Amino acid sequence: AGAHIIPSPIVGTFYRSPSPDSPPFIEVGDRVSQGQVLCIVEAMKLMNEIESDVSGIVVEVFAANAQAVEFDEPLFAIKTD
Count other C-beta atoms under 10 Å from residue 8's C-beta.
22
Q: Which domain covers residue 46, as residue numbers?
A: 4-80
| Overall domain count for the chain | 1
Q: Is the pLDDT of residue 65 over 70?
A: yes
Cβ 69 vs Cβ 44: under 8 Å: no
C-alpha R_g of the chain: 12
pLDDT band for position 2 (cuts 50, 70, 90): confident
Cβ neighbors of 4 (< 8 A, separation 6 or more) are 54, 56, 77, 78, 79, 80
The DSSP symbol for 64 reads: P
Give the CATH number for residue 53. 2.40.50.100
pLDDT in tens, 13-53: 999 999 999 999 999 999 999 999 999 999 999 999 999 99
What pTM does this model have? 0.94
Q: What is the DSSP letter of 72?
A: T
